[in-house]
Structure 1
């Protein structure tokens, strides 16, 4: 099975947000923000303005500031990385898959895939806990069910399944 993929800054942002928030540290960060927000609201008029402002800043840290920083980093990465915005061709077979940009080619065996995840718009094939091959679902279009079944079968050592 072949597919052409063109990653965008939006795809990188979605992957980075998913990586940052869909784990225990992301959950803890959001909980800290919520507790700080409640504390800030209840501190209004009861404590110094400095304490209230600091609590609002802590509340914004994981819910406003970090997503903005991830957005800026994704945009910067998209501008600096030549493979983002260019077409990559993925060729999937029984042993693994090949990624080609027309001049360079990489081969990844199914045994190297540690984790499978899918988001609303992306398929993520992780080779480490922080590095994944990001495939936009719209590049698969009607081939997605066939692709999903193949990946779930071939990457049998990976945690998770594509939905």
Structure 2
């Protein structure tokens, strides 16, 4: 079975990948817990310390909670704008050997035994080559071929490496 499709990444796609990458890891969970602790401390210490500490706790919690997503969004926009590779369309070819990505004269091939894992989120299919780096394939652009990609991946990869919906 052979599957071919073209993908053009947007800043929104990159942002969603970065959010997923951050908030499924320890640093994302720690930032959410820290924000909740700030909000809880602001609410419970009002009678002891007054309004100024409550406002400070709320502001600190909001800063912790919103800093990461805003930073990730700005970084995603900057990365897409700065990279000629990411600005242009990428051609994917998925077959029995692996996943090939071409753009103009440049090409890269990820063999099936080199795929760390494949994960689908609500908006993206992520093909990881290691724990950090992944090919981001927007589901909206993939369309009906998403089902075919999942079938090929389930056939070629061990079950524990495939988390496709």
TM-score (ref. length: structure 1): 0.90
Consecutive unaligned residues of structure 2, counting only runs of 5 or more, are none
Pick one of 114, 127, 130 that aligns with 2:129.
Answer: 127
Q: 1:51, 1:4 → 2: CA distance? A: 53
Consecutive unaligned residues of structure 1, counting only runs of 5 or more, are none
The answer to whether the 8 A contact 2:110-2:129 is kept is no
Residue 28 of structure 1 and its aligned partner are, at CA, apart by 2.6
The answer to whether the 8 A contact 1:113-1:157 is kept is no
Pick one of 14, 17, 20 that aligns with 2:16.
Answer: 14
Cα displacement string for residues 85-112 of structure 1 (whole angstroms, at most 9, x for unaligned residues): 3110000111101100112011111111
Where does residue 144 of structure 2 map in the other structure?
142
Q: 1:126, 1:117 → 2: CA distance? A: 8
More moved, 27-36 vs 123-132: 27-36
Where does residue 105 of structure 1 map in the other structure?
107
Q: Which has the higher helix share?
A: 2
Where does residue 117 of structure 1 map in the other structure?
119
Q: 1:84, 1:45 → 2: CA distance? A: 53
Residue 134 of structure 1 and its aligned partner are, at CA, apart by 0.4
* CA separation of 1:42 and 1:18: change in aligned 2, threshold 3 A: same
- Runs in 1 of length 4+ with deviation above 6 angstroms? none
The answer to whether the 8 A contact 1:111-1:157 is kept is no
TM-score (ref. length: structure 2): 0.89
Residue 45 of structure 1 and its aligned partner are, at CA, apart by 4.9
Where does residue 49 of structure 2 map in the other structure?
47
